[in-house]
Structure 1
Amino acid sequence: MGLTSRSLLYTVVFVAVLCVGLTVWLWPRLSGRGVLPVLGRLGAILTTQLTIMSAVLLAVNSAQSFYGTWGQLIGRYDRSPGQVTTATDLAGTGARVDTGKGGLVQPGAPEGLEKAGLPKGPPEQVGKMESIKIIGRRSQAAAPAFVYLPPQYFQKQYERQRFPVIVAITGYPGGTESLAQHLQVPKTASKLISENKMQPTVVVMLSPNIAMPRDTECVDVPGGPQSETFLTKDLPDALRSGYRVGHKASAWGALGYSSGGTCSLLLAMRQPDVYPAAAALSGDYKVGTDLTTGDLFGKGADERKRRQEHDLIWRLRNMPAPRATVLVTSSLHGEKNLKETKRFLDAVRPPMKADKMILPEGSHNFATWRREISPAMEWMGKQLVFPQDVNG
């Protein structure tokens, strides 16, 4: 039985309940004096506690997917990178920071920049990390972000050139440091660019949750936070005002892990004229609600419609397919989204295109996503068109 299988969980729960029952039943017989009764009572207590704790830990792991297989539980991780395969048969010196009231890009807190893992050296040789705050005029939100600028951004021959953009999105409740330190996004981008496996690209790292601690799931909540508006309108406007990045959508893509992966797919399928390419590492295929999200879809006659439009498989089956290209990932053992990933891929139809990365083994954690991030970013680099316009 697999570590996250329901049969194992139910079996351990049954054994725990049985042990509790047997302990209660046999306790009078173990109440005497002497070595054997004492050892019997200790054995009953330890066995009962062990089975109960095992059931609790298995339930928590099944819900959160900290470990997907027995091998991962004992520390045997496969660290080989994933491989992208076709799933459908279709073919300056940083930001111009404006500290005034009207500035859309403002200086951010520097904490965490040192954890990005970039090599030491001048920006024109190793690139640069910046911490900024994005001001959203439409959404009325302000969100922190990290920006990775490739070495070419600072080189003389590129001084008027605009660059493609990857918007890297965290899961909940992760922050920008999760992308920089744990997922190693800037370090991976630097390595791929230096090896000519990815064109010089600006990478923006941020959380989609603009009303923390609430999980807004990239949704424009009726009467609440406007997360989709922030990501599809405010963020592009701000970045284009502060950096030399492409003005056309063909230079933009979204990439994320966990709920950030779901968000990336949502952006590409709902707003393909803003993000025509998306990569989702262990993403889901619909937005649900729970205690962390609160009410995302409002009440009344339009609630069901709004909920359905955030169900990606429903969209593919009931709405025109978007002109978008996506990459989705899962694993044969350890990931809970494998079945839904297959359903999603089966529903994709032209003009939409989809590729996949299915690992033999992996689970819902950074150990798995670090195996996927390099091929995912290399894939993304092939989808983005290097801007032909120049900075006037």
Structure 2
Amino acid sequence: MGLTSNKVLALASLLAIGLFAATVLLWPRLARRGLRPVLARVGLLLATQLALFAAVGLAANNHFLFYGSWADLFGREQEMGVVVDHSAGGAGGITVVGERAPEGVPGAARPALAGQVQKVVVTGGRSKIRSAAYVYLPPEYFQPRYAGKTFPAAVVLTGYPGTAENLLKGLRYPRTAHEQVKQGRMRPMILVMLRPTVAPPRDTECVDVPGGPRTETFFAEDLPEAVSGTYRVGTHARNWGLIGNSTGGYCALKIALHHPGRYAAAAGLSAYYKAAEDITTGDLFHGDRHRRDRADLLWSLDHLPQGRTSFLVTTSERGEGNRRATLDFIGKVKAPARVSSITLDSGGHNFTTWNREIPPALVWLSGRLSAG
């Protein structure tokens, strides 16, 4: 049974309840002096606490989807998404490895009614990175009246160390996009959903690491090129956007800021604005001051040319730690770039907050991209 299975949660909850009941029933019998009764009491209390901790942890993980599998939890991630060395000039592209219906969308058996989610492997011709992703194709993609027409596309990024499954289940991007189109608030759009951790378990902060993973090249060049070569998506900046939360939000803003000729718009939900440097990232810059400065978005806005890119940033009055930096980012964006914002009265750094921001963010993104 999988880590996020309701059966696992139910078993853990029943075990915790059973051990609690056993503690209450057996405590009078164990309330004697001596080594064995003491050890029995300690063991029973410890087992009850561990079972309760496991049940609460599983419930929290099922809600927030911090980890998608046992392998992910224990650091033995087995999904595709590793850096693979290839000969120079190797071709990039997309391989479809599975198809499924979007969760929670009516008419799921028919792609022309519900759309389709394809699991793919993206191979970067320049970066030599291979990463698993999910591609959501809206119902219109399969309808005869749209045959031959291109669609705008958005790269959707999780936080660290999230999994791409988070974008399908916890954050419900395909379902939300479907609902917004049905309500006439946005146009049909292809979503390319993946984690920014394309070299797990390392967090590369979407930079090209000297001698390491060329993550920025993958997102800025390889990914849109591979998607446009496989699906009916345009190749101009006006056809492409990015959206992400937390680390994914930082990456979305960073890639669009540094590559306005590739992406016309980016939304950073609960984003931060400077590359993290810690045990999860390792040495990202190898002492290169310019690389470190460039990974600071506020520095980039001050020192690098700003293209015709639209940005959306989100924060909250209470609960988020990025409010001051978000205001600084807004203040530094200058024409021809544009900036919009969402500020909640209260909202923490979690899925509940992002699910309040994703619908208007998708509508905003759709309004800044075009199909042709």
TM-score clears 0.5? yes
Q: What is the deviation of 1:114? A: 6.2
Q: What is the deviation of 1:264? A: 0.4
Task: Write out aligned runs for 1:51-70 (5 A).
Answer: none
CA contact (8 A) 2:272 2:322 kept: yes
CA contact (8 A) 1:134 1:235 kept: yes
Query: Partner residue of 2:199?
Result: 211
The superposition leaves residues 8-37 of structure 1 with CA deviations (integer Å, 9 ceiling, x where unpaired) of xxxxxxxxxxxxxxxxxxxxxxxxxxxxxx
Q: What is the deviation of 1:164? A: 0.4
Once residues 118 and 274 of structure 1 are traced to their aligned partners in structure 2, the CA distance between those partners, rounded to angstroms, is 31
Letter of the 1:107 partner, please give it: V
Q: What is the deviation of 1:102? A: 5.5
Letter of the 1:161 partner, please give it: K
- Gapped runs of 5+ residues in structure 1? 1-65, 67-100, 388-392
Q: What is the deviation of 1:319? A: 2.2
Once residues 255 and 268 of structure 2 are traced to their aligned partners in structure 1, the CA distance between those partners, rounded to angstroms, is 11
Once residues 169 and 249 of structure 2 are traced to their aligned partners in structure 1, the CA distance between those partners, rounded to angstroms, is 18
3-state SS of paired residue (1:210): coil
Q: Tell me if 1:286 matches 2:274.
A: yes
Query: Partner residue of 1:233?
Result: 221
Of 75, 80, 104, the match for 1:117: 104
3-state SS of paired residue (2:235): coil
3-state SS of paired residue (2:299): helix
Once residues 272 and 307 of structure 2 are traced to their aligned partners in structure 1, the CA distance between those partners, rounded to angstroms, is 18
Task: Write out aligned runs for 1:247-326 (5 A).
Answer: 247-299=235-287, 303-326=288-311
Letter of the 1:223 partner, please give it: G
3-state SS of paired residue (2:346): coil
Q: What is the deviation of 1:108? A: 3.0
Once residues 163 and 115 of structure 1 are traced to their aligned partners in structure 2, the CA distance between those partners, rounded to angstroms, is 18
Once residues 293 and 365 of structure 2 are traced to their aligned partners in structure 1, the CA distance between those partners, rounded to angstroms, is 28
Query: Partner residue of 1:193?
Result: 181
Query: Partner residue of 1:104?
Result: 93
Q: Tell me if 1:383 matches 2:368.
A: yes
Q: What is the deviation of 1:196? A: 1.5
Q: What is the deviation of 1:109? A: 5.5
Once residues 362 and 281 of structure 2 are traced to their aligned partners in structure 1, the CA distance between those partners, rounded to angstroms, is 29
Once residues 295 and 304 of structure 1 are traced to their aligned partners in structure 2, the CA distance between those partners, rounded to angstroms, is 12
Identity %: 43
CA contact (8 A) 1:168 1:254 kept: yes
Query: Partner residue of 2:122?
Result: 134
Q: Report 1 or 2 for greater relative contact order, CA contacts < 8 Å, sequence distance ≥ 6.
A: 1
Once residues 103 and 257 of structure 1 are traced to their aligned partners in structure 2, the CA distance between those partners, rounded to angstroms, is 27
Number of aligned residue pairs: give it. 283
CA contact (8 A) 2:256 2:264 kept: yes
Once residues 297 and 276 of structure 2 are traced to their aligned partners in structure 1, the CA distance between those partners, rounded to angstroms, is 12
**1:153–1:286 Cα change, 3 Å:** same
Task: Write out aligned runs for 1:72-83 (5 A).
Answer: none
Query: Partner residue of 1:174?
Result: 162
TM-score for the superposition, normalised by structure 2: 0.74
Q: What is the deviation of 1:195? A: 1.3
Query: Partner residue of 1:146?
Result: 134
3-state SS of paired residue (2:141): helix
Q: What is the deviation of 1:317? A: 1.7
- Gapped runs of 5+ residues in structure 2? 1-59, 61-89
3-state SS of paired residue (1:254): strand
CA contact (8 A) 1:117 1:186 kept: no
Q: What is the deviation of 1:103? A: 6.6
Letter of the 1:267 partner, please give it: I
Instruction: Let me know the Cα RMSD of the aligned residues.
Output: 1.6
CA contact (8 A) 2:92 2:126 kept: no
TM-score for the superposition, normalised by structure 1: 0.70
3-state SS of paired residue (1:132): strand
3-state SS of paired residue (2:301): helix
CA contact (8 A) 2:102 2:114 kept: no
Once residues 104 and 207 of structure 2 are traced to their aligned partners in structure 1, the CA distance between those partners, rounded to angstroms, is 32
